[in-house]
């Protein structure tokens, strides 16, 4: 039968959500939608029946999942997901907000090569060093602020925070935590991964429903442009208090500072 998702990867953009979903789909008890449904941010008026219809068929005991990273920063998403089911398990993949912002910019740059430089978009005023927090690339990384919105509707124990950095350096370890959180048997282990030196991140030895090795597509692991180090430092200083607050809220130190 098709069921509404019991677990959703809600964020964050350029954090490693696609990698996490691809890795999880190796598990026989996980069934997930490939494309991002964007139901709770863009398609909500289509209704839950439309949403359910997008889901893959599952057997008893299997978990239905989807991922749409923009949910984490969407004001209405927590209330909407909560009204679907208060018991929905939420997963957020986070990574260093400075590298996340640069990665976000790199993705946009690949589609629109004539956009302004990263440096000029970062500041409202370069002389005063005032950071432009309205730019989405900067805005998304203020994790503590977005999390406060989710905590109005969900207890912190119902949200798992996955480190985008550890997803690369120790995929099996992070996947172990995710499987425990979802109440799944720990089937995905280090024997499922190999490290691809060219790409600089782990790949699956065998993907879901295939016997061939599988790496994420060409759009993943793009080379970042060189960013002025002074600007990077300004951003580090800007994010530090928000990171500290985020570590306190989640009880996890992600080691970004």
Q: So what's the pLDDT on residue 212?
A: 79
The domain ranges of the chain are: 7-104+136-223
11 annotated as a binding-site residue:
no
Rounded average pLDDT over 155-180: 97
Measured CA to CA in angstroms, residue 75 lies from 61, 78, 194 at distances of: 32, 7, 38
Backbone angles phi, psi at 206, to 5 degrees: -140, 125
Q: Is 14 a catalytic residue?
A: yes
Q: So what's the pLDDT on residue 90?
A: 99
Q: So what's the pLDDT on residue 219?
A: 67
Instruction: Enumerate long-range contacts of 60-63, CB under 8 Å, 24 or more apart.
Output: 61/29, 62/28, 62/29, 62/30, 62/31, 63/6, 63/7, 63/29, 63/30, 63/31, 63/182, 63/184
46 annotated as a binding-site residue:
no
Taking the model in full, what pTM does it have?
0.95
16 annotated as a binding-site residue:
yes
Task: Tally the C-alpha atoms within 13 A of residue 33's C-alpha that lie toward its C-beta.
Answer: 22
61 annotated as a binding-site residue:
no
Q: Cβ–Cβ contacts within 10 Å for residue 154, how many?
A: 19
| Strand-pair category, 7-11 with 63-67 | parallel
- Dihedral sign for Cα 237, 238, 241, 245, please: negative
Residues in the chain: 257
Mean pLDDT of the chain: 95
- Cβ–Cβ < 8 Å for 87, 64: no
Q: Six-digit token pair at 162?
A: 């996955």
Name the strand (E) or helix (H) holding 10: strand 7-11
Q: Which tens digits make up the pLDDT trace of 32-60? A: 999 999 999 999 999 999 999 999 999 99
Q: So what's the pLDDT on residue 15?
A: 97
222 annotated as a binding-site residue:
yes
**Annotated catalytic residue: which of 14, 124, 199, 212?**
14
Rounded average pLDDT over 184-202: 90
Rounded average pLDDT over 17-45: 97
Q: What is the C-alpha to C-alpha distance for residues 19 and 165, in angstroms, rounded to an integer?
A: 12
Q: What is the C-alpha to C-alpha distance for residues 200 and 167, in angstroms, rounded to an integer?
A: 12
With 90 as the cut, is the pLDDT of residue 153 above it?
Answer: yes
Find where tokens 């280090």 sit. Answer: 190
CATH architecture group of domain 7-104+136-223: 3-Layer(aba) Sandwich (3.40)
Q: So what's the pLDDT on residue 200?
A: 82
């Amino acid at each position: 039968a098709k069921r509404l998702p019991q677990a959703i990867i809600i964020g964050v953009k350029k954090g490693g959500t696609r990698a996490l979903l691809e890795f999880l789909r190796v598990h026989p008890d996980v069934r997930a939608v490939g494309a991002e449904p964007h139901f709770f941010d863009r398609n909500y008026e289509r209704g839950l029946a439309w949403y359910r219809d997008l889901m893959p068929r599952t057997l008893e005991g299997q978990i239905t999942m989807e991922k749409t990273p923009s949910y984490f920063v969407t004001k209405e998403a927590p209330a909407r997901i909560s009204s679907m089911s208060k018991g929905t398990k939420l997963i957020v993949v986070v990574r260093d907000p400075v590298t996340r912002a640069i990665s976000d910019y790199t993705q946009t740059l690949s589609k629109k090569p004539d956009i302004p430089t990263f440096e000029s978009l970062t500041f409202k005023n370069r002389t005063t060093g005032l950071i432009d927090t309205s730019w989405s690339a900067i805005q998304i990384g203020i994790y503590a602020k977005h999390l406060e919105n989710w905590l109005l509707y969900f207890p912190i124990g119902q949200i798992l925070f996955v480190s985008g950095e550890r997803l690369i350096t120790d995929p099996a370890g992070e996947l172990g935590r995710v499987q425990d959180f979802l109440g799944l048997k720990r089937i995905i282990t280090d024997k499922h991964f190999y490290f691809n030196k060219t790409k600089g991140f782990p790949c699956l030895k065998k993907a879901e429903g295939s016997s061939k090795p599988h790496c994420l597509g060409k759009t993943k692991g793009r080379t970042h442009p060189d960013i002025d180090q002074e600007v990077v430092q300004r951003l580090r200083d800007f994010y530090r208090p928000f990171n500290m607050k985020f570590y306190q809220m989640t009880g996890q130190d992600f080691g970004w500072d």
